[in-house]
Amino acid sequence: MRIDVFTLFPEIITSYAELSILGRAQQAGALKVHAHDLREGATDSRGTVDDAPFGGGAGMVLMPEPVCSAIEKVEAEGEMHRPLFFLSPGGRAFTQNVAREMAELPGFSLLCGRYEGADQRIIDLSCDGELSIGDVVLAGGELAALVIVESVARLLPGALGNSESSEEESFSDGLLEYPQYTRPASFRGHEVPPVLRSGNHGEVERWRLAESLRRTLERRPDLIAARGGLSEAERELLTAYPPSEST
């Protein structure tokens, strides 16, 4: 998969993308992240890319000419993939389902805003959509781009050590993940739930599903509603596996 990121801070993207999962995926050839400096599109010697907003108001806005030129230059080389998404708090909510859709693509591109944002004509003329990583306002699109790159890259075959690890996790089946435990079995008087040490795989599976359901019901009832509520079997499971006593 090839991902092109347009930004005023390409080092943020490249340095992060060299490490850990992204670094391994790039070394394995499963992923290539290209970061492009928007200043490459500037037309003056000072590399100006922003200007004051028409209509007044605080802050600066990314100018259309430099940004569109920077994108066109890279696109003309022929390797860049679309869709190109502008990162924006007003974009489509980026969720695990969107990450899964994007992981099926041969590639995509991301445009990072800065300052107060980008001239609307950049979005209208050069972009194919907008993505938001949540109802928060960042100072720039770089962290949002990395959130998207990382969550998509870890779904690529071979990116995670264990191919199952992205199948059984939060949101993969519309539920939050069950609690996880590792050694020691007893930590500061708090015990690992005995079922996890029973060696009974069927019991472990049922306990995990019950815990996932309970957690989702308590913390994210919207996710349960989106699945159409609890089935009879799921209700029975919750009764069969009551909440573990916290010791």
Which residue's C-beta sits nearest to ligand SAH? 113
**Element containing residue 130 per DSSP (H, E):** strand 129-132
Our finding on whether 133 is near ligand SAH (CB under 6 A) is yes
In the complex, the smallest distance separating the C-beta of residue 14 from ligand SAH, rounded to whole angstroms, is 18
Q: Write each residue from 79 to 118 as x if it is in contact with ligand SAH (CB under 6 A), else as -, in one continuous string.
A: --------xxxx---------------------xxx-xxx
Our finding on whether 140 is near ligand SAH (CB under 6 A) is yes
In the complex, the smallest distance separating the C-beta of residue 5 from ligand SAH, rounded to whole angstroms, is 11
In the complex, the smallest distance separating the C-beta of residue 129 from ligand SAH, rounded to whole angstroms, is 12
Contact assessment for residue 73 and residue 40, using Cβ atoms and an 8 Å cutoff:
yes
The full DSSP string for 26-73 is HHTTS-EEEEEEGGGG-SSTT---EEPPTT--SS-EE-HHHHHHHHHH
CB closer to ligand SAH out of 118 and 209: 118
Helices 142-153 and 96-103, interaxial angle, to 10°? 70
Bridge partners of 131?
92
- The dihedral through the CA atoms of 170, 172, 173, 179 has a sign that is negative
CB closer to ligand SAH out of 87 and 209: 87
Contact assessment for residue 112 and residue 84, using Cβ atoms and an 8 Å cutoff:
no
Contacts of 115 (CB under 8 A, 6+ apart): 50, 59, 60, 61, 62
Piece of the chain touching ligand SAH by CB under 6 A; list 15-23, 128-136, 180-188, 199-207: 128-136
In the complex, the smallest distance separating the C-beta of residue 50 from ligand SAH, rounded to whole angstroms, is 11
In the complex, the smallest distance separating the C-beta of residue 135 from ligand SAH, rounded to whole angstroms, is 7
| Binding footprint of ligand SAH on the chain (CB under 6 A) | 87-90, 112-114, 116-118, 132-134, 136-138, 140-141, 144
